[in-house]
Structure 1
Amino acid sequence: MNALDQWLLSVMYRTAGHSHALARVAETIVNMYLIKGTVLIALLWWIWTRREHATADRSEERRRDREIVVIAVLSGLVALLAGRLLAHYLPFRLRPFYEPQLRYLYPETTSPDLLPRTWSAFPSDHAMLWCAIATAIFVASRAAGIYALLHTAILIGLPRIYLGLHYPTDVIAGAALGIVIACILNYGPIRSRLAAPVLALARYRPGLFHALAFVLCFELATQFDEFRALAHDMSSVMAGFV
């Protein structure tokens, strides 16, 4: 554990302590999709529809909003992919909960196997995904974006640190990478070009667009957990044949 992680963890546990009740609250938050991504996905739909009946002179504002929503989702997907690639190719980092010499730091939970030991802790793909989406929300609306960033830090990042799923620097690095990805993709010309095919689909094939958007938003809100679990199980099965 590096010096920054050690200092940040000492500050956290001096402040919060090893409370069984607080651990249960943190565990509940970590396991609830509604508290995590669903709220931010709902904000994206609010941004998409808030100028639904805009007059002709405000049609550009509506288009900009919808471009930002498309880029928010794309940023999240890129962040998830980048997070998995970094976790795979960077040196493996065991999650602190599973480090025997660090177990005394973390409260007992009712779900000791919250994540497989084989998934590297660095960087936090939760932080990457939701900070990317929160940053895009901020581009569309300062007030909503500030809430989204605070929501990500307090209700997504902190509980994972408190339970030992990540070191603080895993979350900080993930958040920084997610923000950078969203900022790059939200650059005006890049945003317009990438969003154009999706907006065309929404205009000319609205039924297909909304069906696909529902499935994609559901998978983002659950962070593709079913696919990730399936991939983990399949890799375990394949390893058994080697």
Structure 2
Amino acid sequence: MNAFDMSIQTWLVHIAASSVTFTHVVHAIADFYIAKGVIPLAILWAIWFKAGESQRWRREMVVAILLSGFIAFLLGRLFALTLPFRLRPLYDPTIHLTFPLADETGKFLRMWSSFPSDHAALWMAIAFGIFLVWRWIGVLAILHCILFVCLPRVYLGMHYPTDVIGGSAIGALSAWILTREPLRRRFAPLFVRFMEYWPAVGYMLAFVLFFELATMFDEPRLIASYVIKAL
């Protein structure tokens, strides 16, 4: 662990030792989907349905933001699989830190590399995309990502600070690139027209997509892990 990670992680562990109630609250925030993705995704629905002269532009931005979140999530997983394996702080005995609720937090994470955080990548992409459309709401969305997605995962030992910083950078960069007009205009209008011409099918598929995003594709990932083990 580098000095930057060590100083922050040690400080957070000392906070954890001072309040059991606070630790349980943080653990609940880290687990609950509504604390992570449901709120920013609900904001995207508000952006989509907001009336006004620039409604089509906003809808194109929503499409680009969703795609950037999906790509950021995939990039986070790709980097975790291809970069040198980094043991999560929760399992690393060399750092000599005892994390709160370790038995409950780290049941399924031992074989998953710590860097980068795919949670930070996905939700920072969504938050930064919201910022590009609604500035003050976007600031709140970014703060929400930092306080309710990134910090709890560092506090509980699931990630190092640099893991969530790296994931956040991937997410913000993905959102910035895919929302640029020259690139956005190549794919977003097609999806907007599809939603306008076939709303029943479009909103049905949108519901499924938002559900999977909110749950971080838990079920598809679980199915994939079973298939890999079976093979």
| TM-score (norm. length: structure 1) | 0.90
Q: Who is 1:78 aligned against?
A: 71
1:211–1:131 CA distance, 2 compared to 1 (3 A): same
Give 1:175's match in structure 2, choosing from 140, 143, 168.
168
Q: 188-197 or 212-221, which moves further after superposition?
A: 188-197
Q: CA deviation at 1:122?
A: 0.4
Question: 2:67 aligned with 1:67, yes or no?
Answer: no
| Correspondence 1:187 to 2:175 | no
Aligned-partner Cα distance in 2 for 1:34–1:66: 23
Identical positions, percent: 44
Equivalence for 1:12 = 12
Which whole-Å CA distance do the structure 1 matches of 2:106 and 2:158 have between them?
Answer: 10
| AA matched with 2:92 | E
Alpha-carbon distance, 1:177 to partner: 1.1
The answer for unaligned runs of 5 or more in structure 2 is: none
SS of the aligned residue for 1:235 comes to helix
Distance in 2 between the 1:113 and 1:9 partners?
16
Q: How does 1:156-175 map to 2 (within 5 A)?
A: 156-175=149-168
Taking structure 1 as reference, are residues 229 and 29 closer, same or farther at Cα in structure 2, changes over 3 Å only? same
**Contact kept? 1:87, 1:120, Cα under 8 Å:** yes
* Alignment of structure 1 residues 1-242 onto 2, 5 Å: 1-15=1-15, 17-51=17-51, 54=52, 58=53, 61-102=54-95, 104-109=97-102, 111-238=104-231
Q: Displacement, 1:15? A: 5.0
How many positions carry a matched residue from both structures? Answer: 231
Q: Per-residue deviation at 1:178?
A: 0.6
Give the deviation of 1:17 after TM superposition: 4.2
- Secondary structure of 1:166's counterpart equals coil
| Alignment-mate amino acid for residue 7 of structure 1 | S
Amino acid at match of 2:50: R
Asked whether the equivalents of residues 30 and 160 of structure 1 are also in contact (C-alpha less than 8 Å), the reply is yes
| Contact 1:26 1:159 survives alignment (8 Å) | yes
How big is the alpha-carbon RMSD for the aligned residues of Structure 1 and Structure 2? Answer: 1.6
Bigger Cα displacement from structure 2, 189-198 vs 86-95: 189-198
Query: Any conservation in 2 of the 1:97–1:103 contact (CA below 8 Å)?
Result: no
Moved more, 216-225 or 2-11: 2-11
Return the alpha-carbon distance in structure 2 between the equivalents of residues 43 and 214 of structure 1. 14
Per-residue deviation, 1:104: 3.0
**Shift in Å at residue 109 of structure 1?**
4.5
Q: Is the 8 A contact 2:5 2:162 kept in 1?
A: yes
